[in-house]
Amino acid sequence: RSVRVPMMNIKFLTTPYFRDEDLSCSVVELKYTGNASALFILPEGGSMQQVEARLQPETLRKWKDSLRPRKIDDLYIPKFSISTDYSLENILPQLGIREVFSTQADLSGITGAKDLRVSKVSQETL
């Protein structure tokens, strides 16, 4: 059964690419700002089952080591989004930000209350 999904399209790019003959798939790496990147896997015949069944850490290392720049005229990828929510109460004290969580915190400038302190800090990334 096939399902139609919204796609995004990139035209005329040069990006790391590898054709894995053993797994009958193509691998494209798209780089993000900084050191982050994503590997997109296009299986032959449209079935991911064979690739998923044989996917191992060594497979990823082989792909990363074998990627070579290749010109691609048209690349279509399903639209997707990634989001996460981080709780920072345990991380901020490691960075030296402790007092705002304690009873010694003086946040009276915010509301005038003397017993105000921070109980939760979160960051949502989209």
Indicate the fold that domain 7-78 takes in CATH.
Alpha-1-antitrypsin; domain 1 (2.30.39)
Helix (H) or strand (E) run with residue 29 in it:
strand 25-31
Tokens of 35: 């050191």
Mean pLDDT of 81-98: 91
Relative to beta strand 37-43, strand 68-78 is unpaired
The CA-CA-CA angle for residues 8, 44, 13, to 5°, reads 40
Domain ranges of the chain: 7-78, 84-125
Mean pLDDT of 12-24: 95
Say what the pTM is: 0.65
Give the count of beta carbons closer than 10 Å to the beta carbon of residue 97.
13
Residues 94-104: tens digit of each pLDDT: 999 999 999 88
Residues 27-74: tens digit of each pLDDT: 999 998 888 899 999 998 877 888 999 899 999 999 999 999 999 999
Question: What is residue 96's predicted lDDT score, i.e. its pLDDT?
Answer: 93
Q: Residue 63 in contact with residue 39, Cβ under 8 Å? A: yes
